[in-house]
Amino acid sequence: DAGVIQSPRHEVTEMGQEVTLRCKPISGHDYLFWYRQTMMRGLELLIYFNNNVPIDDSGMPEDRFSAKMPNASFSTLKIQPSEPRDSAVYFCASSFIGGDTEAFFGQGTRLTVV
């Protein structure tokens, strides 16, 4: 398996623009997680899905953030409108059983909002 695949690897956008981050989890994994990493706040869980259903979105910072998982092999994280403080590395991770076991991470998307 190729592992968790995220795209794009890097994204630079202007403030106010819409940004869409994409993730393909490992085949057969029922859980998908979106994390944000910054120097100040470390790794923060934004939202996670189980069997394509959002279970906990309490980490989503604002209504500007939204996430979807239309099928078992694809998820998106959208920011609209983007702001400079959204600049961070966004990781997608998936796991087979759930949060009680290892989560496999993608390589991340480095987002810069100018």
Partner 1 sequence: GQQLNQSPQSMFIQEGEDVSMNCTSSSIFNTWLWYKQDPGEGPVLLIALYKAGELTSNGRLTAQFGITRKDSFLNISASIPSDVGIYFCAGPGYGKLTFGQGTILTVHP
* Interacting residue ranges for partner 1, rule: CB under 8 A: 4, 31, 33, 42-43, 45, 48, 50, 55-56, 91, 93, 98-108
Nearer to partner 1, 17 or 112 (CB): 112
Name the residue nearer to partner 1 (CB basis): 63 or 102.
102
Residue 103 CB, nearest distance to partner 1 (Å)?
6
For residue 112, which amino acid is it? T
* Residue 100 C-beta: closest distance to partner 1, Å: 4
CB-wise, 74 or 104, nearer to partner 1? 104
Q: Which residues contact 10 (CB under 8 A, 6 or more apart)?
A: 109, 110, 112
Minimum distance from residue 81 beta carbon to partner 1 (Å): 27
CB 59 within 8 A of CB 38: no
Q: How far is the CB of 113 from partner 1 (least distance, A)?
A: 19
Q: Nearest CA to 70 among 48, 51, 46?
A: 51
Residue burial 48-73, b: 16+ Cβ < 10 Å; e: rest: bbeeeebeeeeebeeeebbbebeebe
